[in-house]
Amino acid sequence: MAGNIPKIREFPSDDRYWRVDSFGAIIRNHNVPSEPFIQIVISPFIDADLHTKEPKDLISIYATSNNERKSIQIGVGQLPFISIGSVWKNGFIQSFKAGTEKIIDDVNINDETIKIVNANHKIGGKYLIPPNYYKFGKEGLYSKLIAIKNSKGDPFGILIPVIEVIRFYYALSTHLSHAVFSGAFKHNINSLINPQNSGYIKEESRCILHLRKHITDEEGWVIGRILKSKEAFYGANQPFDDIMQNSINYRWIHVSSAFPFTGFTNLTARTKNICSITEDGWKTLILELKYCTASFPFENATFPRDNDNNTETDPNNRLPPEAKSSAWPISKSEEADGSKDLQNKQEPNALCSNETITLPTNRFAAIDGKKPDKPEKEQCRYMSGLVIPNEDHESDALGTGIPSSNDSSIGRGNIIPQRTRAKSLPASFESFKAAIELLNQKDGVSAYIRPLNNLIEYMPLTKSPRYRQWAYLDSKTYRRRQVIAANIEYQNHHYILLEFESRKGENFRVALINVTSGDQITDIGLNKLLTRLAIEKGVWNKIAHYFNNLKMTTLKHTWKSTQHFSDTILDKLN
């Protein structure tokens, strides 16, 4: 489970595990006019003990009860939480997911290699995706897929749901999801940026966006890509265009979109192999995109924003307080702790607090390690905004619609992406990082810190986020134990060095892990290992018998320096 992700009330609360099978249509939400619904097709698992199952087995049509398959409706602002193959219990997302993680190399995206088809597309009177290999449910049958020609020349070799393309490339946050489904990029760009102070410097390959106060830098990279690339602009606007064209005739609308680039890319994804009736045979159905190596249409970014308190003015140009005007009042904003449910029946109350729900992300190779520049303000003419007092408007639940003035007790839940960076690791991991850097300098060794994501950044929770448990470093503040891992390649073998955060007085070991087959451990496999480790409260020798295909060697914290630590790792490798 992810500790800060709230319970979504629309999922069943019956103590069973439910799998997301597909996305359905976009539907108008009459209760929350500012936010349409998206259908989510789900089915319950037959076996209650999922922790012993392989991800490829969890995506089987025989793993869930087809007769109990149903659809629920989620506000589009919650789309960043949802992926096909994700598993839910009593409304809470679980740490493990169905489907096999793989890297698909040299995927070629252009007008000749892609086409849009329905999920129930037929060739020669037979389904492209046979129901005995994958079931989309009746609500998902007419959902749209992007078919991509693979390296073998099969025009349907790679299949990916359109909504997954939208979720991964465009709808990274609540703000961006609303922008996609409301047409803001074409019809209300002022809600996202100040276009008069935005532009592009070709000589510096620099995108300049004057972001509105509520838009984060991570959202700015995506907005810049959409506004600078014609492919991205089309892909981000097509969903709303489809809604407008079909809203009169159809209650359920299945939207189209497109990739935000052309050319070759490598995709990391969770997938399922499909044996089709076509002569080309096996195909890859992408359930969830994880990582993309395609380029951005600019190399550098500058993101000034409205009344930016984080950007300093030149001290010589500062105005005295009496010469400043009051900035527009803002509602109280705080970090969600997962204690309030997400609901879709009522609009949020503008007088209730805004709660941000951060999602760790590391999706795009093109912006790895990059930060936007922050220009110095010439002169700040505004005082900090007054916080609207909300003592009388405490929220008991959250919604992702646009707040309005009403009498409800619903607060605003705002999902924002937060790119994971090594600098966010706790100080106790500094010697780990330094030792890996030294190890990478040794002959015949390739070692680097493994990129973080929501599967491996923290120790997985083993109970409801609201309960005290070992995976929390501090249960009072819901602070979870962070994880650091390094990938090591030595003498044609792949290893992972792994450490997790400890409380004061605790003394846990660092583990060196490798797969006996010689393969690398996927994020899903590592998450499965961490879940079992959390159950056993960090004791490595209690989990070894659960993973017969892994060899685990533990190291005590007895090294006197990072060089000694590095040498100890090399000794263990030998």
Provide the pLDDT for residue 330. 46
Does 272 have pLDDT greater than 90? yes
Following CA atoms 286, 291, 295, 301 in sequence, which dihedral angle do they give, to the nearest 10 degrees?
A: 130
Pick the most confident of 294-303, 399-408, 430-439, 543-552.
294-303
Provide the pLDDT for residue 109. 96
Which contiguous run of DSSP H or E holds residue 70? strand 70-75
Does 319 have pLDDT greater than 80? no
Which two structure tokens, joined as six digits, stand for 212?
A: 């509105």
Does 315 have pLDDT greater than 90? no
Asked if 480 and 461 count as a contact pair (C-beta separation under 8 A), the reply is: yes
Does 183 have pLDDT greater than 80? yes
Asked if 283 and 356 count as a contact pair (C-beta separation under 8 A), the reply is: no
Does 61 have pLDDT greater than 90? yes
Quick: pLDDT tens for 119-161: 999 988 889 999 999 999 999 999 999 999 998 899 999 999 9
Nearest to 104 by CA among 67, 65, 157: 157
Question: 271 φ, ψ to 5°?
Answer: -140, 170
Quick: pLDDT tens for 494-526: 899 999 998 888 889 999 998 776 666 777 788
Strands (E), 223-378: 263-275, 282-292, 300-302, 325-326, 330-331, 333-335, 354-361
As a whole number of angstroms, the distance between CA 475 and CA 158 comes to 44
Order of strands, sheet of 199-201, starting from the edge strand that comes earlier in the sequence: 199-201, 206-208, 300-302
Nearest to 85 by CA among 59, 103, 66, 60: 59
Only one residue has tokens 């619904």, namely 37
The pTM for the full model equals 0.71
Does 204 have pLDDT greater than 70? yes
Which contiguous run of DSSP H or E holds residue 526? helix 523-535
The rounded percent of the chain whose pLDDT value lies above 70 is 86
Question: 149 φ, ψ to 5°?
Answer: -65, 130
Provide the pLDDT for residue 1. 40
Mean pLDDT of the chain: 84
Provide the pLDDT for residue 377. 58
Helix 230-246, helix 174-182: angle, nearest 10: 60
What is the pLDDT confidence band of residue 320, given thresholds at 50, 70 and 90?
low
